[in-house]
Amino acid sequence: MNEKEVEEGAVALMPKQDLSWIPKLLKKRVCTTFVEDSFSNGGRCQCGATRDSHPSVALGDYFSTAIVSHWDSTQHSSEQPTDAYGELEFAGAGKRHSYFLRLSSTTDPFVVFDIMRQHWKLGLPNLVVSVVGGEGRLKVKSWVREVLRQGLVKAAQSTGAWIITSGLREGIGKCVGEAVRDHATAVSSVNLNKVVPIGIAPWGMVHNRLQLVDPEGSFPAKYFVQNAPRGTCSLDNNYKAFLLVDDGTEGRKGGEVCFRGRLEDYISHQRPAGSASIDIPVLNMLISGQVSMVEALEISLKNSMPWLVLACSGGLANLVSDIVENVQSVPMSAFGGAEEEEGSSNMELRERITMKVKKHFPSEQDMDKLVDKVLSIYQNKDLISIYHAEGVDDFDTVMLKVLVQASKQRVSVSTNPYVDELKLAVTWNRVDIAKSELFSGNIDWKYEDLEVSMTDALENDKPQFVRLFIDNGLNILNYLTYGRLEGLYDSISKTSQAGMLLQHLLEERINESNDQTCHVSLYEVSQLLEDLLGEVCQPFYRSVLCVDAASTKRKALKKACKVLKEECLYRQNMCKDPWLCLFLWAVLQNRGEMAILCWEMCGESVLTALGGCKILRELSKLEIETAAKLSMKELATKFECMAHDVFSTCYQTKASYSYKLLIRKSNLWGDATCLKMAMATDARYFFSHDGVQSLLSQIWWGDMERGTELWKLALTMIIPPLVYTNLIDFKSEKKAENTEDVKSVMAPPPSATDCNYGETVFSFADIKHNSEGDHEDSNNIRRPTKGTATNSQPKKRPFWLSRWKQFWYAPVTSFIGNVVTYFLFLILYAYVLLVDFKPPPPEGPAVSEYVLYFWVFTIVCEEIRETFIVGSKTFCQRLMLYVQDVWNKFDVLAISLFIAGLCCRMFSWSYNTGRDILCMDYMVFTLRLIHIFAIHRQLGPKIIILGKMIKDAFFFLFFLAVWLSAYGVANQALLYQYDPSPDRAFRRVLYRPYLHIFGQIPVEEIDTGKYWDRDCTDNLTLINEGKEPCRDTSHNWLVVILLVIFLLVTNILLVNLLIATFSYTFSKVQEHSDTYWKFQRYNLIVEYHSRPTLAPPFIILSHINLLIKRNLRKVPSTKIHRFALQLKGRDANKLVKWETFQKENFLALESKKQRGTDSERLKRMTAKVDGVIKQVGEIRDVDRRLRALESDMEFCTSSLQWIMEALSQSSTMKSPKTHPTRKAEQNQQTERR
């Protein structure tokens, strides 16, 4: 159905043709038999309508009219298609539209409920409160209004309830509407939609009801609210929907009672939104009320519907509260006949109830019938609860207890009676009630009692209940099986981004297996996580499905289909890491609070937070809706900050452990490391942490002292024997042994390629070596344990060999060597192009050019090694990873151009073309030099700014091209009527207007008033032969105007727009320049850490050495996994426990900060005030009870005194005194008067 959303959650405007089926399905009732009303002198029917308003058919049957004395709706009225439905606009009210529907009193409630849900788009309620009583024009007491405003509507908002009343502007219906209106002005639109007031009124009681009549539907019907005469009442404009029940009467009340009861009973058998454990609870609330409502109350109680009676509100409510609280059943005697005792007790109970009825309704005529109904109500008093306005409990707590008390009547003895109360609290999301009433320590909860509620809390995103259940005995290891995890994933909304991706993967599996009954399985989850996380870690859940982690997608799909077609025994197994599984499930749905709760419970907090950040940022790229995209980005940023803060706590505690934390392979996340995950996540803020940069600096310098001058490194590379002198300081073995016993000394001032990031505790090699045999005391990481085995350390090498490797294996050495040799390469390249570029063979090439060819060949070998040899991924995965880097694309372009130019220059016919290509290639090689200086602290951010400015320039060029083409074509067409030369047309249409921007304007050619010294002709033949055509002077004034406009737009508007864009980009990046530089520094360190020691062209020696070691000697590479550290056994457990301890410290500190905020202080103050108010309420309750007890004591004393005086006199004499009465009864009679 087509719908148009209206602002502020208003109703959807539905075209008429979409609801044309309503009159065929829903009916109205029309009186078909005129039954004369004895009090109207024959002018009015007992249905309430006048004789003239009846159809001729109703007036024609005189025989039936004569024998019928009582009018009945089912017998004397017939159904016809309804003629009043659609939307309702209250004139002058300024409110959103409401829905309305006229329907027969015998309509099936299923049809009505379906219309309310599907077409009116009313959300499924978690509770239905049906308020009855208080009708008519009597004034409602002020404290009753306050109960409705502060109690009922507030509780309805917190639980997401429907409030059903008559919907009329009188009595309780008007009070509820005003309470909803006042509540709407104080809450947001999100909470406003949780309260849905619905009016169910008799059609014949609605004033101005003819304004609603339209056989084709009203969209909307304009309704004027006026002062209604007695017998009718206007609709209240604060209600969202109206069900106008038609039983064929006019001006008669009660026609809607039966339908309202059937609708409430039908709703009570439906399930709330997102819940499968309980039905929608329906609570009837009685306020005041007349005698006519006794029958409805009796029928409802027989259907086991709970009732909440507002004591002292007047009328029927006072009677019900009186008999429930003050009338007690007469106890059975242990002697005598049972039947006689039962009969006498029933008679005595009836007498007591009769006294109560006469006290509250003394003028009732049919007293016996009323007493019978009240007695039937009394027999079901277990379903009735009395609410006193001065009570201690909140109204929502009272409603919860009433519903639970009613549900206890239907549960078995073996069932925990508090389970239903817990289910209601979860459905209403009232964790405060659950804590105070259910988990205060007085109830022994079993696992079976919490299991279903735990599922509801997870599926409906209620993390506070999840935490509450975990704190009160629910073991997550026993709860979360793989089958239940699949059920949680299957419950994800199909409209969410993760839900759509899972459904797409599910369709692929359905097409493969031809099984149409498939549900979301762990295979779809595994594939989705693999698509989002990429190659950062190994796929999840594949081992559970018996699928090889290294298998291709096609093979994995076939294997998964085969496994899932079988019995799937894995679904009974417990999840290995339940909190991580729930964390991934919550993150995929962008549930922030739930994901943070699972993160707090999960291990490896830093890596887990970075993993959640990665998933969210990948999902945000796929999300289309702006609000969801921003929400994902905000949550991703929050997880990155959490990872940064937890790592900061770790680094401040023990720097050495924090370094291991960064490079440790995680079994939880499929051998991923924090550095690798942070790099894939683009977590610049995390990389900017001093601890991360300190580790990178240690890796960068190797075993050399940080801050060593660059000229010393360059000189040592030129003269290698200097490595054995004291020119460069190394970390000596003695110093390395005593590092744990002394305080770390601050490193020297930073050089141009480094920065001081705090203390230097370990080198990268030290970290990896110490991790293999780390048996340190957990309380002092800097102190080596006595008795540590010396054979756990690497075998000691000779001094000359260790010093040689310390220098040449450091990434900084490889970087300096590559920089120097690259400059030499560019110099050689320029020398060949400018000086020594010989003709094609046999005269050339020269020797220098052959050296250049060899040099480029070594560069190509290094690119091949970096792309296809390094790493353990497949060929396609390595190729995709290589192409993702922009500078690798530059390398491919430079090498491709060089090969093309080399091939062309070898032939005389393409010699010049080859030289041109090589000249262009030199520019590409030179631009590649920019990447080398990314390590520099000042130049690095400027490179980022340059890249962003180039992107901005492309947008500028787009606008410039539009103006260039527009002005160029118009200018050329106005100056020259005919010029077939493509060369001249291109230059004058595009090239010449471009030069205008820089001030090169040929005024002599454009302005015909100037002299133009150019030989031209108007002869078309000569022009076609290539002769210059003469200018057209007829429209020269327009050419000048276009030139002025073009210069104004390009030189002033577009150029200044470009400058402003560049300024914004510069200022934006400059603010975070340090963060940008630290992030890109990691890439360069990784690159040169994995490179061979020697630089091109000498790198060919390193390639030969690697070829021999890998293929002949079978020596494994130590750089395949880059910055990875494998910890097992005790070391791994110790590191995880230490990280968890630091996370707990971080959470405790954050909780302390949160408690110190003004909002939390205000909440605590509010809680204290509420506690004081409750205590005052308890004191009032005690005072009321003491007064009642005192009245009873006085009554007993007076009764005993009267009995004694009566017995003391003769039996024939009557006591002059009357029997005493209770003071409470006297006070009530006085108040009633």
Distance spanning both ends of the chain, measured CA to CA: 59
Based on C-alpha coordinates, what's the Rg of the chain? 44
Peptide bond before 842: cis, by omega within 30 degrees of 0? yes
- Give yes or no for a contact between 666 and 673, defined as CB atoms under 8 angstroms apart: yes
- Give yes or no for a contact between 438 and 419, defined as CB atoms under 8 angstroms apart: no
- Which amino acid appears at position 1101 of this protein? L
Task: Tell me the residue ranges of DSSP E strands in 459-538.
Answer: none
What would the pLDDT profile of 608-627 be if each residue is shown by its tens digit?
999 999 999 999 999 999 89
Burial class (CB in 10 A: 0-12, 13-18, 19+), 236: buried
Rounded Cα–Cα distance for residues 403 and 411 (Å): 13
Rounded Cα–Cα distance for residues 282 and 305 (Å): 7
For residue 485 the two structure tokens come to 């995890």
Residue that the structure tokens 């105070």 belong to: 436
**Cα 573 from chain centre:** 29
Rounded Cα–Cα distance for residues 771 and 1126 (Å): 9
Which of the four pLDDT bands, split at 50, 70 and 90, describes residue 905? very high
Peptide bond before 220: cis, by omega within 30 degrees of 0? yes
Nearest to 96 by CA among 21, 195, 3, 8: 8
Mean pLDDT of 278-295: 84
- Give yes or no for a contact between 592 and 576, defined as CB atoms under 8 angstroms apart: no
Q: Which residues lie closer than 8 Å to 241 by C-beta, 6 or more apart?
A: 98, 99, 100, 101, 116, 120, 122, 196, 198, 199
- Give yes or no for a contact between 594 and 579, defined as CB atoms under 8 angstroms apart: no
- Work out the number of other CB atoms within 10 angstroms of the CB of residue 1230: 8
Q: Tell me which range, 108-122, 315-329, 544-558, 1082-1096, is most confidently predicted by mean pLDDT.
A: 108-122
SS3 state of residue 41: coil
Rounded Cα–Cα distance for residues 578 and 573 (Å): 11
Crossing angle (nearest 10°) for helices 419-428 and 447-459: 10
**In this structure, are strands 85-90 and 218-223 parallel, antiparallel, or unpaired?**
parallel
- Give yes or no for a contact between 450 and 472, defined as CB atoms under 8 angstroms apart: yes
* Mean pLDDT of all residues belonging to the chain: 81
Nearest to 425 by CA among 445, 409, 1113, 759: 445
- Give yes or no for a contact between 127 and 428, defined as CB atoms under 8 angstroms apart: yes
Written as one string, the DSSP assignment of 521-544 is -HHHHHHHHHHHHTTSSPPSSTTT
The pTM for the full model equals 0.75
Mean pLDDT of 858-874: 77
Q: What is residue 638's predicted lDDT score, i.e. its pLDDT?
A: 95
Peptide bond before 845: cis, by omega within 30 degrees of 0? yes
**Lowest model confidence (mean pLDDT) among 50-64, 123-137, 424-438, 1097-1111:** 50-64
Nearest to 273 by CA among 155, 429, 438: 429
- Give yes or no for a contact between 1223 and 1195, defined as CB atoms under 8 angstroms apart: yes
Residue predicted with more confidence, 783 or 802 = 802
Residue 154, H or E segment: helix 153-159
Burial class (CB in 10 A: 0-12, 13-18, 19+), 118: exposed
Question: In the chain, how long is the greatest CA-to-CA distance?
Answer: 159
Peptide bond before 750: cis, by omega within 30 degrees of 0? no
- Which amino acid appears at position 1226 of this protein? Q
Nearest to 944 by CA among 1069, 1083, 1086: 1069
Q: What is residue 874's predicted lDDT score, i.e. its pLDDT?
A: 66
User: Is the pLDDT assigned to residue 13 strictly greater than 80?
Assistant: no
What would the pLDDT profile of 1119-1160 be if each residue is shown by its tens digit?
555 578 888 888 899 999 999 999 999 999 988 888 878 877
Count, residues in the chain:
1233
- Which amino acid appears at position 518 of this protein? C
Q: Which residues lie closer than 8 Å to 1198 by C-beta, 6 or more apart?
A: 1220
User: Is the pLDDT assigned to residue 791 strictly greater than 50?
Assistant: no
- Which amino acid appears at position 790 of this protein? T
For residue 644 the two structure tokens come to 């940064």
Which of the four pLDDT bands, split at 50, 70 and 90, describes residue 420? confident
Residues 643, 649, 650: CA angle, nearest 5 degrees = 90
CA pseudo-torsion sign 1005, 1008, 1010, 1011: positive
Q: Which residues lie closer than 8 Å to 962 by C-beta, 6 or more apart?
A: none
Q: What is residue 744's predicted lDDT score, i.e. its pLDDT?
A: 34
Mean pLDDT of 565-573: 85
User: Is the pLDDT assigned to residue 901 strictly greater than 90?
Assistant: yes
Residue 10, H or E segment: strand 10-13
Q: What is residue 450's predicted lDDT score, i.e. its pLDDT?
A: 87
For residue 667 the two structure tokens come to 């079994």
Q: Tell me which range, 250-264, 491-505, 509-523, 1151-1165, is most confidently predicted by mean pLDDT.
A: 491-505
Return the DSSP state at 549: T
Mean pLDDT of 645-667: 92
Which of the four pLDDT bands, split at 50, 70 and 90, describes residue 1229? low
Residue predicted with more confidence, 20 or 1105 = 1105
Query: 233 has which bridge partners?
Result: 206
SS3 state of residue 958: helix
Rounded Cα–Cα distance for residues 610 and 630 (Å): 18
Q: How many CA atoms lie within 13 A of 838 on its CB side?
A: 12
Q: Tell me which range, 208-212, 267-271, 329-333, 476-480, is most confidently predicted by mean pLDDT.
A: 476-480
- Residue 760: phi and psi, rounded to 5, are -100, 110
Q: What is residue 872's predicted lDDT score, i.e. its pLDDT?
A: 54
SS3 state of residue 1153: helix
User: Is the pLDDT assigned to residue 531 strictly greater than 50?
Assistant: yes
Rounded Cα–Cα distance for residues 952 and 1070 (Å): 16
What would the pLDDT profile of 448-479 be if each residue is shown by its tens digit?
888 888 998 999 899 999 999 998 888 899 99
**Cα 381 from chain centre:** 45
Residue predicted with more confidence, 1231 or 984 = 984
